[in-house]
Structure 1
Amino acid sequence: MRCFCVLSALLMLINANGQVVLDADGPGNTYSLITSVLAPGYNPVEVPDCGHTSFGDHIDEVYDTDLNANVFRFHIHVTPDNDRCINFDRQRNEIKTYDQSPDNLLGVVGEKVIYKWKFKLSSGFQTSPNFTHLHQLKSVGGALSSMPMYTLTVRKSNPDRLELRYAETDTQITLAQTDLLPLVDVWLEVTEKIEYGISGTYEITIQNVSDGSILFSYATTNIVNWRPEADFVRPKWGIYRSLINAQDLRDETVRFANFSIEEVESLSLETASLNDTFVIFPNPSKNTIALKNIPQAATKIVLYTLDGRKVMEKATKNELEHVLDISALSKGTYLVKLLGDQVQQSKLVVVTD
């Protein structure tokens, strides 16, 4: 009976992820408010304050008469703003989650997450021909961490446009785009849904708050939403723009409101482990890999190609550590699964020449 109660409590804990919201509450202490939600006790705010101390905080809060609510206001100035006094060919004013954030704000394999927020571009908004990013989902960990997975960006063109960009590895492509003008000087609500994994799903809609009309949408299935050696995926919001063509820019403010992160599906009891997830070392490798921290409930190790073809299966025999010979595998990325009655854990491994 006691075991059943413990398992029931564990099941409730695993699935009770809830929704985390960040709402403006009025002028003053804006950075503290953002920090208290996105990374309590740490620093999820990336602002150009250091190079422009005379202006003060580059994110503040104001009352918006269209929404009849307090909202966040992100400021960016062509000069002297830069990227945190680190990079001077670009400007960054963003908020984010990161490794110091609570676990339920970080996306991992097997989770389905809904991100929501509202934003408003000022009338006459000017954008760079290089990049002016408003939102990113960024993979953290591994060799590909510098390239965002998904990016919502605006770009100077004829006409100016909004683009949804995607990178499976280190090369970006445009998934969808639309004219920017209908998206300017109106409050927009974004709903972004993603399933993290090597065969994931992605969906985004942008609608006009005032009348509910959908101004932009895109959806796809069976897309790679995870990268080798990644630890988690985190969202970012704000203004991140290039200064290479500063003559095309002006001082801007972008308003944001009602940030929300909600994990709507996560590991069930059958796919959870009471132990820490296993690790693979070395990764990448060309000869052998060691699997450590194998849950005692795991009974076998199975390797799959990214298109789902099984290439190897080994029994674990209640081992906490197991060495696999992968020298016969072709170069590429494989999914390593630990399977058992009460465990199903997965990680990617890269096989080199």
Structure 2
Amino acid sequence: MSTSRRALLGAAVSGAAGTATGLLAAAPAHAASWQQKWAPTAAGDGLGAFETVEDDRADSHPAGHPHIYATGDNWRFTMHTVDRDTSTDRQRQEVTGLRTGGSYLKWTQGQTWRITYSMYIPSSLKATTTFTHIMQMKQPGNGTSPIVVQSLRRVNGVQTIELNLPVAGVLVGRTGLDPLHDRWTDVDFQIKVGDGTAGSVRWILKSGSTTVIDKSRTGVDTFLADRVRPKWGIYRSLGDTSGSLQDTYLLLTDLRGYQLV
């Protein structure tokens, strides 16, 4: 990542930390601030940055292995049209969790977390009429519903990127995908883990110095049970009717994790 883009991400974290501190300034004993808890590098940590790696779980395309790997400063998620997940109506190449040494970070009820990173979405990774998720938040375990999804979705034929809270039934925000194709986009995502109406989220996308979208929702459900665990990669349905599925990839870099403490 360029120095200017690193500076933008750093400024975003510092600015939001100040906002959070201001909101809680009335508490005399402690002013909350963002504390960095996770700062892996692709070159240094590789796939060891994550709790688990879900690379072609069904072994559907051995010739394409590895589909997920570190390359230079980036993590790459490659998807071929022949790839199949264990549920054969969909495709999945994802990583989960925030590993730190021999352990991993656990996001539990009442905590507030923040993830910043940059993603490169090539024009070959298109929005679809059915689901194409490039980030999820879930309770660990098979068959659990997604709590948060960042998705590429066609709406009335238009390619968009959106953030949804499926458990809460809330669309947080949506913006056009075309201007973000073939360039780096900075992501700043915050979540307060809360059951019922105790949760909140904020979703910011920046392209260079331009804020593409900045949306927040409070009073929403962001918890099922146990803990919340982030996932990144490409997870998409084969049911698309727009002809948008093709060989593609996603790049991530400069992943950072912060807790409000």
Scaled by the length of structure 2, what TM-score is found? Answer: 0.76
The residue aligned with 2:161 is 162
Q: Which has the higher contact order (CA 8 A, sep 6+)?
A: 2
Q: What is the 5 A alignment of 1:1-353?
A: 18-25=36-43, 33-35=46-48, 37-39=49-51, 44-48=52-56, 50-63=59-72, 70-79=73-82, 81-83=83-85, 86-97=86-97, 105-140=105-140, 146-157=144-155, 158-168=157-167, 172-198=169-195, 199-208=198-207, 211-227=208-224, 230-245=225-240, 247-265=243-261
Aligned length: 224
Q: Distance in 2 between matches of 1:16 and 1:180?
A: 30
In 2, are the aligned partners of 1:114 and 1:193 still within 8 Å (CA)?
Answer: yes
Which amino acid is 2:41 matched to? Answer: D
Alignment partner of 1:34: what SS?
helix
> Deviation of residue 21 (structure 1)?
1.8
CA RMSD, Structure 1 to Structure 2 (Å): 2.8
Q: Which of structure 1's runs of 4+ aligned residues deviate more than 4 A?
A: 15-18, 98-104
Q: Distance in 2 between matches of 1:254 and 1:231?
A: 29
In 2, are the aligned partners of 1:128 and 1:248 still within 8 Å (CA)?
Answer: yes
The residue aligned with 2:27 is none
Whichever of the two has the greater Rg, that structure is: 1
Q: Distance in 1 between matches of 2:123 and 2:174?
A: 20
> Deviation of residue 182 (structure 1)?
1.1
Q: Distance in 2 between matches of 1:93 and 1:101?
A: 23
Alignment partner of 1:249: what SS?
coil
* Deviation string, structure 1 residues 295-340 (Cα, Å, up to 9, x no partner): xxxxxxxxxxxxxxxxxxxxxxxxxxxxxxxxxxxxxxxxxxxxxx
Q: Distance in 1 between matches of 2:117 and 2:75?
A: 11
In 2, are the aligned partners of 1:38 and 1:101 still within 8 Å (CA)?
Answer: no
Gaps of 5+ in 2: 1-32
* Deviation string, structure 1 residues 21-64 (Cα, Å, up to 9, x no partner): 222117xxxxx7323x333xxxx00111721111220023334x
Alignment partner of 1:87: what SS?
coil
* Deviation string, structure 1 residues 65-96 (Cα, Å, up to 9, x no partner): xxxxx2111100011x111xx21110001000
Scaled by the length of structure 1, what TM-score is found? Answer: 0.58
